[in-house]
A and B are shown apart, each in its own frame.
Chain A
């Protein structure tokens, strides 16, 4: 069970996590904690937008799933080391699980809350879906073509970014508790997680640059994607990589100051773009990648998830895990990084583990209720 260059216990072995939520953010955070060895119990609560079946397979496998009442939920929370949750601000309190109260009862508890806009502020109760969070997170304003509306990216990136932060925060706050004795309550806003990653743009405008809107794929000829065989391929070069790119393209006309000098290159962008269109059209995607590796040129190909399931570079690194589902065998991304082990757990039915978890975690209390 423990591979990828790591022997011995998984880093979160023996750590109990209660996942209270229903959205992608808490589920993704819980998914990472489970993979790294935590015992994750997912409480199934009513939600307005449940996970899709594909999301459920990826994000819920490896967790024990319980259906419990509010009193049991509170008891489970107090048995946990970490609670991850993405309920609307105030909902935990309504269930009797106000994070501050839980931490008064158990100061070493770590609670991580992931919500669209954080626990407070004027938009704290706003309604969202992924596209709303992505729009309010700023990245959408620079994504897409200038000739079309701003564009949301594939999947549910605004929500995954919240979960990515939530997992990191949960592990880090738990480490803080192990080293310092005290837990914490972490308030994570999906909006802030995205705005903090607006690359050059928010900081730039804050420093006096013009507002930058979406530029499409053709930002600059050497920072762009082009049709290539039955795919699209791209080149994303810094100035220091330009000589290698031009050598690979092999057009003698490129050996000219109008293309080599970065400022003059801007004036001749159309000419260079045309040459790169020809270059990419004349090569197959696999050739592009081979040339990039050989000459240290940052080339990429827009691979699809189905392509990636067949990529040697992922298979050789044991990236994917096999997962049995009632629909058949699925392959899912496993450890996000190697070196600390990973456990791919099974997919359980909702509520399947209620009795076992109540017995394991609450023991005597469950017996008193006659279970």
Chain B
């Protein structure tokens, strides 16, 4: 197997929660050495996002933290103390990339703003990823994925048609910004390889999210168009909808009541195949305008057919005749999905504080580079000695003094906060 694409790249990772950690998780998978640097008193509150009653060290045993921090190294360092800041800047000299997703004003308040970082190492690549950018008229606005999604236009484009807009059920702006940051870092590394120059990338999560619907801006600028809510229907494909299937039984014998199937007819051929399955060949000649005009009636026919079947069985029957159809896989069904299982998407990495559970594999399958989860998320401050001692040459006595001063730690100083 070939080398990993980011082998030899070192990242100082100051990010918290999701957008930033999603980016650096990908970098770690791709071979970069990622140092997750947190203050013992102002650590990533994503660690305790999940309530874990009775867990002895909940800050390092949650599935959330594991999902986004495997293959990283943990260094605790209080950046608000002068000695902590100084050590951070020493570490930066050994890094290619610094990435942070603090609120726009925080990096400067810590005394490690762009100018300071670039003065330490001019070839550094710095990625800031505040919701609205670190600079600009909206920099003072704060927010996470749902706010980003609202302010990017996407929420305004989603709804059942009763006027109320809907956001995605996940903090969608976060992983989109995270993946964009991966692109940014690889591009900046390429440019640095050619020219030697570093980069300051003021990524705004709103902007990476709005770029995911550029056609809506074309419509708005050319035609003054405002979003129209179609529910699950489509302005192009008809019929299209989400239909309730028969409840299914799980392996444990419990009933999963809500089972849904989406069906989407791209063209006349799809509709003719669907009409045959529905045993309504009398309707097979309807063109798309007629299908749209009679959409309620067709929904009734499809709904009745789906309701008599399992979602999986209905999907397979429609796919067998070439009609686009798919289950609305829920958080349990994705774990049992034959295709994801067949692709080896669910893997397991042993963790000293966690039960075995299904974890998702890297989403890029590379033929040469062997991308895989290699090691569990680090324990808090697990790599303090390796990084501060091994890279900066601090002695055991010095590390003990830092611990004494609360600048480094192997557990959060205030584990109840967050």
B136 touches A55 (CB 8 A): no
Q: Is the CB of B335 within 8 A of A223?
A: no
Contact between B164 and A217, CB atoms less than 8 A apart: yes
Q: Complex: how many Å from CA A330 to CA B68?
A: 39
Are A196 and B141 in contact, CB atoms less than 8 angstroms apart?
no
Cross-chain contact A195 with B334 (CB below 8 angstroms): yes
Partner of B158, one of A122, A151, A202: A151
- Give every chain B residue within 8 A of A123 (Cβ-Cβ): 319, 338-339
Instruction: Return B127 CB to nearest CB of chain A, in Å.
Output: 8
* A173-B5 contact, Cβ under 8 Å, with A153-B158, A303-B156, A316-B137: yes
Complex interface bits, A302-315 against B, C-beta within 8 A gives 1, otherwise 0: 11111111011110
Cα A305 to Cα B219 in complex, Å, equals 9
Query: Nearest CB to that of B257 among chain A residues?
Result: A213
A132-B326, A304-B227 known; A149 vs B260 contact (CB < 8 Å): yes
Question: When chains A and B are docked, how far (Å) is the Cα of A121 from the Cα of B340?
Answer: 8
Fill in one digit per residue for B132-167: 1 if any A CB lies within 8 Å of its CB, else 0.
110111111111101111111111111110001111
Interface size class of B (residues with CB under 8 A): 35 or more
Q: Is the CB of A191 within 8 A of B220?
A: no
Chain A binding site: helix, strand, loop or mixed by DSSP? mixed
Q: Is the CB of B366 within 8 A of A300?
A: no
Chain A's nearest CB lies how many Å from the CB of B125? 9
Q: How far is the CB of B113 from chain A (nearest CB, A)?
A: 15
Within 8 Å of chain B (Cβ to Cβ): is A48? yes
Which of these binds chain B: A133-141, A249-257, A355-363?
Answer: A133-141
Q: Are B363 and A136 in contact, with the CB atoms below 8 A?
A: no
Interface: A369 (CB within 8 A): no
| B266 touching A121, Cβ below 8 Å | no
Specify which chain B residues have a CB less than 8 angstroms from the CB of A92 in the assembled complex. Answer: none
Check A221 for interface membership: any CB of B closer than 8 A: no
Inter-subunit contact A192/B363 (CB<8 Å): yes
A238 within 8 A of partner (CB): yes
Q: Is residue A242 within 8 Å, beta carbon to beta carbon, of the partner chain?
A: no
A143-188 contacts to B (CB < 8 Å): 143-145, 148-155, 157, 160-161, 164-165, 167-169, 171-176, 178-180, 182-188
Could you tell me if B187 and A36 are in contact, using CB atoms closer than 8 angstroms? yes
A196-238 Cβ-contact flags toward B at 8 Å (1 or 0): 1111111111111001111111000001010000001110101
- Are B262 and A131 neighbours in the complex by a CB distance under 8 Å? yes
**Cross-chain contact A150 with B135 (CB below 8 angstroms):** no
Q: Verify B64–A298 contact, CB threshold 8 A.
A: no
B372-398 interface (Cβ within 8 A of A) = none
Task: Tell whether A333 is near chain B: CB-to-CB under 8 Å.
Answer: yes
Contact B5 A179 (CB under 8 A): yes
Binds B, one of A63-71, A275-283, A334-342: A334-342
State the Cβ distance, A256 to closest chain B Cβ, in Å.
21
Q: A305, B160: Cβ atoms under 8 Å? A: no
Q: In the complex, A164 Cα to B330 Cα: how many Å?
A: 23
Which residues of B from 176 to 225 have beta carbons under 8 Å from A?
Answer: 176, 179-184, 186-191, 193-195, 197, 199-204, 206-208, 210-222, 224-225
What's the Cα separation between A307 and B354 when bound, in Å?
Answer: 47
Residues of B within 8 A of A248 (CB): none
Report A337 CB to chain B, min CB distance, Å: 4
- In the bound complex, CA of A301 to CA of B153 (Å): 9
B335 touches A206 (CB 8 A): yes
Stretch at the interface among A72-80, A265-273, A317-325: A317-325
* Residue ID in chain A nearest B262 by CB atoms: A135
A129 on interface, CB distance cutoff 8 Å = yes
Instruction: Contact check, B217 vs A192: say whether CB atoms are below 8 A apart.
Output: no
Any B CB within 8 A of the CB of A367: no
**B67 is an interface residue with CB less than 8 A from chain A:** yes
Tell me if A305 and B227 are in contact (CB < 8 A).
Answer: yes
Query: Cβ of B280 < 8 Å from any Cβ of A?
Result: no
Chain A residue numbers with a CB within 8 Å of B20 are none
Give Cα A282 to B150, complex, Å. 20
- A9 contact set on B, CB distance < 8 A: 191, 194-195
A136 surroundings in chain B (CB, below 8 A): 326-327, 329, 337
Interface contact A153-B234, CB-CB below 8 Å: no
A296: B residues at CB distance < 8 A: 103, 142
Contact: A180 with B2, CB < 8 Å? yes
Known: A317-B204, A337-B203. A312 touches B137 (CB 8 A): yes
When distances are taken between beta carbons in the complex, the residues of chain B under 8 Å from A232 are 155, 164-165
Contact B330 A211 (CB under 8 A): yes
Once bound together, how far apart are the Cα atoms of A215 and B258, in whole Å? 13
Is B210's CB under 8 angstroms from A313's CB? no
The minimal Cβ–Cβ distance linking A42 to chain B, given in whole angstroms, is 16
Q: With contacts A12-B190, A234-B147, A320-B217 known, is A128 near B363, CB below 8 A?
A: no
In the bound complex, residues from chain B placing their C-beta under 8 Å from that of A32 are 183
Contact A154 B330 (CB under 8 A): no
Point out the residues of chain B lying under 8 angstroms from A172, CB to CB: 5-6, 30, 182-183, 186
Would you give the shortest CB distance from A334 to chain B, in whole angstroms?
A: 9
Could you list 11 examples of A-B contacts with CB < 8 Å? A132-B262, A135-B242, A135-B262, A141-B331, A187-B366, A199-B170, A203-B357, A238-B45, A298-B142, A298-B147, A337-B203
Q: Which 9 A-B pairs have CB atoms at the shortest separation, nearest pair first? A: A154-B157, A176-B5, A142-B169, A313-B138, A58-B214, A300-B150, A300-B147, A199-B170, A201-B331
Other than the known A138-B333, A152-B232, A308-B220, what 9 A-B pairs have Cβ atoms closer than 8 Å?
Answer: A153-B154, A153-B172, A173-B5, A175-B193, A203-B357, A294-B140, A320-B217, A328-B222, A332-B214
